[in-house]
């Protein structure tokens, strides 16, 4: 069994990588990927805690969160497609010019 400290360290590293991805670039696709990495870090915490406490609650929460994250990502990708068709770019710097 993997110690819970290692799971927390892995989750923290993933979270730090994702925060760096959000702060360093202003691209829509990298923002979505970084947000998904943050969600995966949280899911690793849920499953790790579920394993430590011998309960299936964390795993079930992780599954529900994963389904919601996938649906959210599909909606955001749809909005990014519309945004890129109207502005010709996925850069968030052109968001000021985008008016419904």
Beta-carbon contacts of 23 under 8 Å, excluding residues fewer than 6 positions away, are: none
Length reported for the chain = 100
Number of separate domains in the chain: 1
pLDDT at 99: 64
Query: 14 is in which domain, residue-wise?
Result: 4-97
- Taking the C-alpha atoms of residue 86 and residue 33, their distance in angstroms, rounded to an integer, is 22
DSSP alpha helices (H): ranges in 53-100?
Answer: 57-87
Tokens of 62: 């992780």
Local confidence pLDDT in tens for the 100 residues of the chain:
789 999 999 999 999 999 999 999 878 888 899 999 999 999 999 999 999 888 899 889 999 999 999 999 999 999 888 888 888 887 777 777 666 5
The span from the CA of 91 to the CA of 10, in Å, is: 30
Query: Which CATH number fits the domain that encloses residue 36?
Result: 1.10.287.3510
Report pLDDT for 26.
77
């Amino acid at each position: 069994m993997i110690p819970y400290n290692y799971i927390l360290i892995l989750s923290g590293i993933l979270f730090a990588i994702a925060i760096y991805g959000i702060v360093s670039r202003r691209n829509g696709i990298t923002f979505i990927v970084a947000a998904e990495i943050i969600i995966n870090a949280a899911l690793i915490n849920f499953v790790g805690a579920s394993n430590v406490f011998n309960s299936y609650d964390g795993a079930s929460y992780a599954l529900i969160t994963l389904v919601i994250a996938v649906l959210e990502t599909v909606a955001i990708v749809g909005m990014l497609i519309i945004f890129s068709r109207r502005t010709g770019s996925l850069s968030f710097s052109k968001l000021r010019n985008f008016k419904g």
